[in-house]
Amino acid sequence: MKFGEFELSIVRECTFKLDGGAMFGVVPKTLWSKLSPADEQNRVEMHCNLLLIETPNAKVLVETGMGDRWTPKEAERYGLKSLTTPAKMLESVGVSNEEIDFVIISHLHFDHVGGATMLKDGKLTPTFPNAKYIVQKGEWEFAYKANARAKASYRFEDFEPLQESGVLQLVDGNYEVTPGVEVRVTGGHTSHHQVVYFESGSEKGVYFADIMPTKSHVSPPWVMGYDHYPLASCDMKNEWLTKASAENWLVVFDHELGTPWGRVRLVDGKKFEFEALPVETLEPKRKTAVV
Cβ proximity of 6 and 200 under 8 Å: yes
Region 12-18 average pLDDT = 98
**Cα 102 from chain centre:** 15
Amino acid identity at 250: L
Convert the pLDDT of each residue in 125-174 to its tens digit: 999 999 999 999 999 999 999 998 999 999 999 999 999 999 999 999 99
Convert the pLDDT of each residue in 126-139 to its tens digit: 999 999 999 999 99
What domains are defined for the chain? 2-282 (3.60.15.10)
φ/ψ (deg, to 5) at 204: -130, 150
Q: What DSSP character marks residue 205? A: E
As a whole number of angstroms, the distance between CA 36 and CA 216 comes to: 7
> What is the share, in percent, of the chain residues with pLDDT greater than 70?
98
Q: What does the pLDDT read at residue 286?
A: 59
φ/ψ (deg, to 5) at 135: -135, 140
Q: What does the pLDDT read at residue 270?
A: 86
List 10's β-bridge partners, or say none.
51
- Residues written for the chain: 291
Convert the pLDDT of each residue in 222-261 to its tens digit: 999 999 999 999 999 999 999 999 999 999 999 999 999 9
Q: What does the pLDDT read at residue 45?
A: 98
For residue 179, count other CB atoms closer than 10 A to its CB.
Answer: 12
Region 74-100 average pLDDT = 96
Which residues, at least 6 apart from 180, have a Cβ–Cβ distance to it below 8 Å?
4, 6, 55, 198, 199, 200
Mean pLDDT of the residues in the chain: 96
Cβ proximity of 245 and 272 under 8 Å: yes
- H or E element, residue 138: helix 137-143
Q: What does the pLDDT read at residue 290?
A: 46
58 vs 7, 131, 181, CA distance in Å?
11, 10, 10
This prediction's pTM = 0.96
Q: What does the pLDDT read at residue 106?
A: 98
Convert the pLDDT of each residue in 188-223 to its tens digit: 999 999 999 999 999 999 999 999 999 999 999 999
Provide the edge-to-edge strand list for the sheet that holds 181-185: 175-178, 181-185, 194-200, 203-207, 250-252, 261-267, 271-276
